[in-house]
A and B are shown apart, each in its own frame.
Chain A
Amino acid sequence: MSAEARPVGGRILTPFFYVLSLLVAVMAALVLYRVFAGVGSITNLTDGYSWGIWKPINVVTFTGIGAGAYAVGLLTYILNKGKYHPLVRPAVLAGALGYTLGGTSVIVDLGRWWGSVFLGFPPWYNVNSILLEVALCVITYMAVLWVEVLPAALERLEVDGTPPWNERAKRWLPRVRQMLPFVIALAMLLPTMHQSSLGGLYMMAPTKEHALWFTGWLPFLFLVSCLTMGYGSVVAMDVLLGVTFRGKYRTHMKLLGDLAKVAGWVTAFYVVFRFAALGWEGKLGYAFRFSGPVPFFWLEIALFAVSAVMYLSPRVRANRGRLFLAGFVGTLAGAAYRVDTYLTAYDPGPGWHYFPSVGEVLVTLGLASVGVAVFLVVVKTLPILALGSGADASFDPSRPGK
């Protein structure tokens, strides 16, 4: 019997939820203050460091974590590895949340946020702008991801909804499911575009980006590392969910094990390619001049390498805790690469200094809390997780998205 996705149920207002809510409230207060007092009122941003931690963490790392939808989707839908299906829905939910948080953070960071309505006005588009492409892609992809979550909501409505909503859900589900292949295709295209362009943004700053990070390969490197982040976050998340909802949800150890192998090779490829690209551009020498951000380069490589080795070790794959660590370190590696590209390796010139303010840290923390809180609520109320016997459930292709 195939394991069906079902709401996990259980109490929503747990103590942990209250803690998260408190962090969210603090964040909300800070954001409200920022609306009236300016971006600089809660941040340490300056004209030299105009982007602080919000861009690399709230936007790029959160969406990188949300790239699990993309990473697993590629395997499941493009490479036809249907066995990974149980991992898709939670990954898509994480993706939808990650991107929504990223988008929210952008609005908070935008100095003239009301101007963003014109992102819906093509005559004003500057097609040269890499950031425009990122913005449009991310907005579209966010919508696509929530559309991908829609079947779960409709399924719940169909079963538990009050009439006439259950009837409406019943009618709409097949239509939505029919559309899904084309929506999923979009969900494969869009991240390819913007995850790479998020790295590509820094191709515009050759004089400020350290040689070890600045390269025409930035888009490609960001693309590959978003996959490693996606795999990492899916692995870590699935282990976490299995422990959090012990008894109701069981971690798909075999699936994660297979996923880990893929992740391991992709990560290994990333490390090799990183050095190859540096070698090709004659920049390897910089890696051995230990000044400025260079130690962070080695930290990144270490994190990637360690995660790759862990993924490829059968001993790691057999142990939940170690597998979790592999995924955690793998995600951390991708996050480190992003924070380094955006901040650590970015030097606007002498005299400029930056370190995130307390306000910036609290907003980041608050946004992360929103993500975790909403994820828990949705997983408890909508059919996202494949409960029951767990393990390798095959899925019914006549009902994709399940």
Chain B
Amino acid sequence: MNHLEKSSVSRRDFLKVCSAAAAAVGLPASAAEKIAETVSKKKPSVIWLQFQECTGCTESLLRTGHPDAAQLILDLISLDYSETLMAAAGHQAEAALEQAMRDNAGKYVLVIEGAIPTKEDGKYCIIAGKTAVETTTEAAAKAGAIIAIGSCASWGGIPSADPNPTGAVGVSDIVKGKPVVTIPGCPANPYNLLGTVLQFATFGTLPALDDKGRPKFAYGRVIHDDCPRRPHFDAGRFAQRYGDEGSRQGWCLYKIGCKGPQTHANCSLLSFVDTVGAWPVGIGAQCFGCTEKEIGFRVPLFQTVDVQGPTPPAMYTPVNAEAGAMSPLATGVAGLVGGALIGAGLTYGAKLAKVEDEGKEEKKS
């Protein structure tokens, strides 16, 4: 705990961060303690490579400030190489990378930010004399875990938008044969990264991933399913254009092209910059599907998408609703009256017949 004590961070604040990280990744509350314990002994080594990117994901990571967690995050992990944050430059930086890969071979977490260009032998991104493809391949070979952070690293992101002149692709297209955790988003949500890294550091396992390598705890559902504006969708209240009555009332943005129904992410649950409501829909802008390869930077902003996934609520009006009352009382009364009348008629006739017969018998005798 020394380094933490030195930076005058209280144990309480430290545990808060661990709890948040554990919760984000879906680990039980007890994991927070374990994380705290592990990390305080030896911080996991993280090598952070950046290629065709805007550094937004790094910035997003740094914008966690309550309580001063930026510092804590950097203290929870040992960020051995980060072109944005490291003090070194030039040959010193190259040396740091090589040393980190050597010292922590097989154990370090490789985080890649940014897309990797592949056209013309990858010459569109050369750092320290090596193409992004080469650096990625080399670093991935000895990594304990590979995480592609942000849409660019996950599937190509903005650089891969049509016509994709550089042939930008995601990490999974370069690294084969090894699991690549993708944490798409533009930017990615920092807690999704944090949770994944800490789980690996503490338990040596990666969270459950979907077929695109995305952690299910964060990307298992679409925005539409967890959206706070969903009641407006269900009630048919839509904003028709920016600034109209509907958008002022905070109504659903589906009609102006919100891609929430098809976008897998947890933005509405975690928000950004540690501020509740700090995500696109929260500030009145339609989700544009930044995590999805088929949608982000592809489907026009105002184009609506199909709603998929979970079935409609069970209480939806069925095609043949039950209608009409059949009360036992009414049944009883009707039966009684009808039965009584018919019974009376039949009895009367039968009696009359008998009387008549007897009368005739008497007459005969």
Residue of B nearest to A44 (CB): B325
B314 within 8 A of A: no
Which among A325, A350, A353 is the interface contact of B326 at CB below 8 angstroms? A353
Among the listed A321, A325, A354, which residue makes an inter-chain contact with B355, where contact means beta carbons less than 8 Å apart?
Answer: A321
Q: A46-B323, A356-B330 are in contact. Are A332 and B342 (CB under 8 A)?
A: yes
1/0 per position for A306-346, CB-CB distance to B under 8 A? 00000000000001111011001000100000000000000
B141 to chain A: closest CB distance in Å?
A: 65
CA distance A322 to B360 in the complex (A): 14
| Chain A residues with CB below 8 A from B326, complex form | 44, 353-355
Q: Are B345 and A365 in contact (CB under 8 A)?
A: no
A350 to chain B: which residues have CB within 8 Å? 320
> Smallest CB–CB gap between A161 and chain B, Å?
37
Interface of B is mostly: helix
B70 within 8 A of A: no
Knowing A46-B323, A328-B345, A357-B327, say if A320 contacts B353 (CB, 8 Å): yes
Given contacts A47-B323, A48-B324, A353-B324, contact A361 B337 (CB under 8 A): yes
Q: Across the interface, do B323 and A320 meet the contact criterion of CB distance under 8 Å?
A: no
Q: Do B330 and A361 have beta carbons less than 8 Å apart?
A: yes
User: In the complex the two chains form, is A49's CB within 8 Å of B353's CB?
Assistant: no
Interface residues on A, range: 20 to 34
Residue of B at shortest CB range from A368?
Answer: B341
- Is B74 at the interface (CB under 8 A from chain A)? no
A48–B323 touching, CB < 8 Å: yes
| Chain B residues, CB < 8 A from A35 | none
Would A365 and B337 be within 8 Å (CB), given that A46-B324, A325-B346 are in contact?
Answer: yes
Most buried by B among A239, A358, A365: A358
Q: Assess A325 versus B324: contact at CB under 8 Å? Given A356-B330, A358-B330.
A: no
Number of interface residues of B (CB under 8 A): 27
* Complex CA–CA separation, A351 to B357 (angstroms): 52
Q: Is B348 an interface residue (CB 8 A)?
A: yes
Contact residue among A325, A352, A354 (Cβ-Cβ distance under 8 Å from B349) = A325
Is B321 on the interface with A (CB-CB < 8 A)? yes
Please tell me if A349 contacts chain B, counting CB pairs below 8 Å. Answer: yes
A321 partner, pick from B323, B331, B334, B354, beta carbons under 8 A: B354
With A324-B349, A325-B349, A358-B330 in contact, do A352 and B337 touch (Cβ < 8 Å)? no
- At the interface, yes or no: B5 with Cβ under 8 Å from chain A? no
Asked whether B337 lies within 8 Å of A320 as measured between CB atoms, the reply is no
Query: Given A44-B325, A46-B323, A351-B321 in contact, is the A356-B345 Cβ separation under 8 Å?
Result: no
1/0 contact string of A32-50 vs chain B (CB within 8 Å): 0000000000001011110
Distance in Å: Cβ of A235 to nearest Cβ of chain B: 11
In Å, the complex CA distance between A239 and B326 comes to 38
Interface pair A354/B333, CB less than 8 Å apart: no
Q: With an 8 A cutoff between CB atoms, is A119 at the interface?
A: no
| Contact residues of A between 190 and 239, Cβ < 8 Å to B | 236, 239
Within 8 A of A (CB), among B348-365: 348-357
Q: At the interface, yes or no: A110 with Cβ under 8 Å from chain B?
A: no
Q: Does A22 contact B (CB under 8 A)?
A: no
| Across-interface contacts of A357 in B (CB, < 8 A) | 325, 327, 330
Q: Are B353 and A321 within 8 A (Cβ)?
A: yes
Within 8 A of B (CB), among A12-68: 44, 46-49, 53
How far is it, in angstroms, between the C-alpha of A101 and the C-alpha of B354 when the chains are bound? 34
**Chain B residues within an 8 Å CB radius of A319:** 353, 356-357
Q: Is the CB of B329 within 8 A of A44?
A: no
B322 interfacial contact with A, CB 8 Å: yes
Instruction: Check: A185 CB closer than 8 A to any chain B CB.
Output: no
Q: Once the chains are docked, how many angstroms separate the CA of A23 from the CA of B351? A: 26
- Of chain B, the residue at the smallest CB distance from A365 is B337
Contacts of B351 in A (CB 8 A): 321
- A49-B345 Cα distance, complex, nearest whole Å: 30
* A286–B78 CA distance with the chains assembled, in angstroms: 83
Asked, given contacts A319-B353, A319-B356, A328-B346, whether A351 binds B330 with beta carbons under 8 Å apart, the answer is: no
Specify which chain B residues have a CB less than 8 angstroms from the CB of A48 in the assembled complex. 323-324
> In the bound complex, what is the Cα–Cα distance between A322 and B353 (angstroms)?
5
User: Which listed residue (A47, A325, A361, A365) contacts B353, Cβ 8 A?
Assistant: A325
- Asked if A243 is at the interface (CB within 8 A of a chain B CB), the reply is yes
B349 neighbours in A (Cβ, 8 Å)? 321-322, 324-325, 328
Measured CA separation A314–B60 after assembly (Å): 105
- Determine the residue in chain A with the shortest Cβ distance to B318: A351
Inter-subunit contact A321/B329 (CB<8 Å): no
A48 to B321, CA, bound (A): 11
State whether B334 touches A351 (Cβ < 8 A): no
Complex CA distance for A239 and B350, rounded to whole angstroms: 13
Q: Are A351 and B356 closer than 8 Å at their CB atoms?
A: no
Chain B residues lying within 8 Å of A243, measured Cβ to Cβ, are 352
In angstroms, Cα B349 to Cα A121, docked, is 47
A321 touching B352, Cβ below 8 Å? yes
Q: How far is the CB of A321 from chain B (nearest CB, A)?
A: 3
CB of A119, distance to nearest CB on chain B (Å): 30
Q: Would you give the 0/1 interface string for B33-50, flagging 1 where the beta carbon is closer than 8 Å to chain A?
A: 000000000000000000
CA distance A349 to B337 in the complex (A): 28
Q: Give complex CA distance A44, B351 in Å.
A: 37
> CA separation between A332 and B28, bound complex, in Å?
75
Q: How far is the CA of A241 from the CA of B322 in the complex (A)?
A: 48
User: B334: which of A236, A352, A356 is its contact (CB, 8 Å)?
Assistant: A356
The answer to whether B320 and A349 have CB atoms under 8 Å apart is yes
Nearest B-chain residue to A46, judged by Cβ: B324
> A321 — which chain B residues lie within 8 A by C-beta?
348-357
Which chain A positions have C-beta within 8 A of B327?
Answer: 44, 355, 357
A351 to B320, CA, bound (A): 5
Of B325, B334, B342, B352, most A-chain CB atoms within 10 Å? B352
CB contacts (< 8 Å) of B337 on chain A: these are: 361, 365
Contact between chains at A320 and B350 (CB < 8 Å)? no
Beyond A47-B323, A324-B348, 7 additional pairs, beta carbon < 8 A: A321-B352, A321-B355, A328-B349, A355-B326, A357-B330, A358-B330, A365-B337
- What would 29 A/B residue contacts be, using CB atoms closer than 8 Å? A44-B324, A44-B325, A46-B323, A46-B324, A48-B323, A49-B324, A236-B345, A319-B353, A319-B356, A319-B357, A320-B352, A321-B350, A321-B352, A324-B352, A324-B353, A325-B350, A328-B349, A332-B342, A332-B345, A351-B322, A351-B323, A355-B325, A355-B327, A356-B330, A357-B325, A357-B330, A358-B330, A361-B330, A361-B334
A: residues with CB less than 8 A from B are 44, 46-49, 53, 236, 239, 243, 319-322, 324-325, 328, 332, 349-358, 361, 365
